[in-house]
């Protein structure tokens, strides 16, 4: 069967979770429509590169206004003051070579390290490596403890591929911050991240860590640098060593779990998470990550329990309220969802998202007036989604003209959403039996966006319903011409030819191409089953259709499987398949038609 496009039924309530983990749940708009209420997979972010605690290059402005107030030390002679002012004026004019020379002279005259620092910054601004080294040497002579000088020195040596020299500066930089080793090693790792190759970055960070063998912070920074260079074995070993040195430190624990998840070692990640939580049951960060992990595993009930426990300690935490609200919707617990999203709205945080989801809650509860009131309160990123829902509810209430006016207004205000809005309008019209008008909308949209694959695909599916097979074939072939690997278009064309023509060999070719691209896609498996049925290969057809049904419970797939079983005189099996599907999909028109047709025909399947 063709893979359905975008919508199921107008007015249905579509809920999409937008939980995205970046240490907490980040705000993100929810799509207005979807085929089923299911959460977006939440992949914990793979371990990031070293924290950006150092700039990509040293701060290079030599302007006094950015280095601080005008640097004129007390007790200078008139000639010394004049030299400093010459340097400042040159820097303001952008003459960095002159500024460098004047600042160097001033630093020599005054023995003030601040002036040597400004000389270095002027040299950096002019990309003069030799001058940078000269100024840096003077700066360190005047202030050997200057962290900024060692930062610039490390950058400069890395740029020159002198990693031994860079290591000396990095060691000193770390030694100058004994009170905050995590920040110190993070700063060093950020500087190291500027090395040109992954081998250089990992090698330099390993060399630095070797100088501090008992430092958990050194090992954790090594883990992060190695992960950013895709050296996952080194990252794993370093994080575990960090935990040996400091067993209760959360940073390597969270890092290691995310590393395992990103390496598709989910079982081990889960075991570690549960082990850590057993030892630290009230740790908020671990519990947040565990709840997110359960969401990704589609263990929604367990995930909600985890987030509800977080709420016991943080009853007004917006991100957690949002998570529990979305999970409650996923579990079809609309009363609980209403409570949590109302609480979220009352916090004053994420109000637009809360209002949008409260609209979704009321749609599910068939309180359409209340849903419209909530949608009217939505602004920001979710505003278009809310207006689309308002249009769909208007159509559901019988005011199709109002729905179309809303969609037109949205197109006028936001042309970037025009394709989506055209598609919604066609869905609205088809839902009320105005399929010919829907086709006119498609035609108008394709005049503006002639090669838009979404519009072409949707029009093709609609054309099939109107028995305009030539138009459907034309649109699908155009998609394939644009993108020869478009599995959905290949499948739809093959299925249409199999179902509505006798061009079975040609149909089989297209479906097989789609299958080669997406061998686990239920719609394509269904088409493989259907073409084998058409060709009389019933056993193979049953195999594909059972695989399709196992991957997705769908009325059309069940109808096809029943038809093949019926054709094989396995009628009891066919009835079992149909009856089970009818209980799950009582309003599926295609399934009902197939069941009635076979029973009315005295048992002969329609071919």
Residue by residue, DSSP assigns 350-383 as SHHHHHHHHHHHHHHTT-HHHHHHHHHT--GGGH
Q: Look at residue 41 in the predicted model and tell me its pLDDT.
A: 31
Q: Residue 50: CB partners within 8 Å, gap ≥ 6?
A: 186, 189, 190, 192, 193, 221, 224, 225, 228
260 vs 94, more confident: 260
The alpha-carbon radius of gyration of the chain (Å, integer) is 33
> pLDDT averaged over the chain?
88
| Of 127-131, 346-350, 381-385, 498-502, the least confident | 127-131
Q: Which of 425, 414, 419, 471 lies closest to 445, judged by CA?
A: 419
Angstrom distance (rounded) from CA 463 to CA 439:
8
Would you say residue 249 has pLDDT above 50?
Answer: yes
Contact (Cβ atoms closer than 8 angstroms) between residue 446 and residue 459: yes
20: confidence class by pLDDT, cuts 50, 70, 90: very low
Contact (Cβ atoms closer than 8 angstroms) between residue 337 and residue 344: no
Distances (CA, A) of 127 to 61, 100, 118, 161: 12, 12, 14, 16
Q: What SS3 class is residue 30? A: coil
Q: Give the start-to-end residue ranges of the domains of the chain.
A: 553-600
The β-bridge partners of 21 are: 25
Average pLDDT over residues 309-338: 95
Angstrom distance (rounded) from CA 205 to CA 313:
39
pLDDT tens readout for residues 410-444: 999 989 999 999 999 999 999 999 999 999 999 99
Q: What is the largest CA-CA distance in the chain?
A: 115
Helix pair 163-175, 181-192: axis angle to 10 deg: 160
Which tokens is 136 given?
């840096």
Q: Look at residue 428 in the predicted model and tell me its pLDDT.
A: 96
Distances (CA, A) of 82 to 89, 100, 104, 374, 534: 11, 15, 13, 68, 95
pLDDT tens readout for residues 23-63: 333 333 333 333 323 332 333 333 444 443 444 445 444 44
User: Apex CA 558: angle with CA 552 and CA 561, to 5°?
Assistant: 115
The sign one gets for the Cα dihedral 220, 221, 224, 230 is: negative
Q: Which of 91, 156, 104, 166 lies closest to 129, judged by CA?
A: 156
The β-bridge partners of 25 are: 21
DSSP 201: H
Number of H helices, E strands in the chain: 32, 0
Q: What SS3 class is residue 33? A: coil
Q: Look at residue 63 in the predicted model and tell me its pLDDT.
A: 44
pLDDT tens readout for residues 509-551: 999 999 999 999 999 999 999 999 999 999 999 999 999 999 9
Contact (Cβ atoms closer than 8 angstroms) between residue 117 and residue 148: yes
Q: What SS3 class is residue 59? A: coil
Angstrom distance (rounded) from CA 200 to CA 569:
69
| Of 88-92, 452-456, 467-471, the least confident | 88-92
Q: Which of 485, 495, 482, 491 lies closest to 455, judged by CA?
A: 482
Angstrom distance (rounded) from CA 7 to CA 514:
22
Would you say residue 496 has pLDDT above 60?
Answer: yes
Angstrom distance (rounded) from CA 204 to CA 491:
52
109: confidence class by pLDDT, cuts 50, 70, 90: confident
Q: Is residue 604 exposed (0-12), middle (13-18) or buried (19+ Cβ within 10 Å)?
A: exposed
pLDDT tens readout for residues 271-319: 999 999 999 998 999 999 999 999 999 999 999 999 999 999 889 999 9
Q: Is residue 72 exposed (0-12), middle (13-18) or buried (19+ Cβ within 10 Å)?
A: middle
Place of tokens 């689309």: 388
Q: Look at residue 33 in the predicted model and tell me its pLDDT.
A: 37
Q: What SS3 class is residue 25? A: strand
Q: Which of 599, 451, 544, 445 lies closest to 1, judged by CA?
A: 544
The sign one gets for the Cα dihedral 580, 582, 585, 588 is: positive
| Report for 33-37, 308-312, 402-406, 599-603: range of highest mean pLDDT | 402-406
Q: What SS3 class is residue 21? A: strand
Would you say residue 371 has pLDDT above 50?
Answer: yes
Task: Give DSSP secondary structure letters for 250-297.
Answer: HHHHHHHHHHHHHTT-HHHHHHHHHHHHHH-TT-HHHHHHHHHHHHHT
Tell me the H-state helices in 449-468.
Answer: 453-465
Q: Look at residue 85 in the predicted model and tell me its pLDDT.
A: 82
């Amino acid at each position: 069967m063709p893979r359905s496009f975008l919508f199921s039924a107008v007015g249905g309530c579509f809920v999409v979770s937008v939980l995205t983990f970046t240490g907490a749940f980040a705000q993100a708009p929810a799509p207005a429509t979807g085929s089923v209420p299911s959460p977006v997979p939440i992949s914990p972010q793979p371990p990031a590169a070293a924290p950006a605690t150092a700039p990509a290059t040293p701060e290079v402005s030599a302007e006094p206004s950015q280095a601080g107030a005008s640097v004129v030390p007390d007790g200078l002679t008139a000639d010394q003051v004049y030299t400093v002012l010459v340097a400042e004026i040159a820097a303001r004019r952008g003459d960095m070579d002159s500024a460098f020379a004047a600042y160097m002279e001033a630093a020599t005259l005054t023995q003030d390290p601040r002036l040597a620092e400004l000389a270095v910054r002027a040299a950096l601004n002019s990309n003069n490596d030799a001058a940078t080294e000269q100024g840096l040497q003077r700066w360190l002579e005047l202030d050997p403890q200057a962290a900024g000088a060692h930062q610039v020195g490390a950058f400069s040596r890395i740029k020159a591929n002198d990693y031994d020299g860079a290591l000396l500066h990095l060691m000193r930089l770390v030694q100058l911050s004994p009170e905050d080793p995590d920040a110190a090693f993070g700063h060093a790792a950020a500087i190291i991240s500027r090395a040109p190759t992954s081998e250089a970055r990992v090698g330099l960070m390993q060399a630095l860590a070797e100088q501090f063998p008992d430092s958990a912070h050194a090992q954790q920074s090594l883990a992060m640098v190695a992960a950013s260079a895709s050296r996952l074995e080194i990252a794993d070993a370093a994080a575990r060593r960090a935990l040996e040195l400091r067993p209760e430190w959360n940073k390597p624990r969270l890092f290691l779990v995310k590393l395992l998840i990103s390496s598709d070692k989910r079982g081990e990640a889960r075991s570690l998470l549960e082990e850590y939580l057993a030892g630290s049951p009230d740790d908020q960060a671990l519990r947040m990550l565990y709840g997110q992990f359960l969401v990704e595993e589609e263990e929604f009930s367990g995930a909600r329990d985890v987030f509800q426990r977080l709420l016991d300690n943080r009853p007004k935490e917006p991100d957690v309220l949002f998570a529990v609200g979305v999970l409650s919707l996923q579990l079809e617990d609309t009363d609980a969802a209403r409570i949590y999203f109302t609480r979220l709205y009352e916090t004053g945080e994420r109000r637009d998202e809360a209002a949008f989801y409260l609209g979704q809650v009321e749609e599910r509860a068939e309180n359409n007036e209340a849903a419209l009131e909530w949608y009217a309160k939505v602004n920001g990123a979710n505003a278009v989604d809310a207006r689309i829902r308002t249009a769909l509810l208007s159509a559901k209430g019988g005011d199709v003209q109002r729905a179309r006016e809303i969609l037109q207004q949205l197109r006028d205000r936001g042309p970037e959403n025009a394709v989506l809005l055209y598609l919604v309008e066609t869905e609205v019209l088809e839902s009320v039996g105005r399929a010919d008008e829907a086709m006119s909308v498609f035609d108008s949209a394709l005049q503006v966006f002639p090669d838009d694959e979404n519009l072409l695909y949707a029009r093709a599916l609609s054309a099939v319903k109107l028995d305009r097979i030539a138009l459907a074939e034309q649109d699908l072939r155009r998609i394939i011409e644009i993108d020869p690997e478009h599995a959905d278009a290949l499948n739809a064309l093959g299925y249409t030819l199999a179902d509505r023509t006798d061009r079975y060999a040609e149909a089989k070719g297209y479906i097989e191409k789609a299958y080669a691209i997406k061998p686990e896609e239920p719609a394509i498996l269904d088409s493989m089953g259907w073409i084998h049925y058409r060709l009389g290969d019933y056993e193979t057809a049953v195999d594909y259709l059972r695989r399709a049904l196992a991957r997705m419970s769908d009325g059309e797939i069940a109808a096809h499987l029943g038809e093949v079983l019926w054709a094989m005189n396995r009628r009891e099996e066919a009835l079992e398949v149909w009856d089970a599907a009818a209980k799950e999909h009582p309003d599926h028109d295609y399934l009902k038609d197939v069941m009635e047709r076979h029973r009315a025909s005295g048992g002969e399947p329609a071919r």
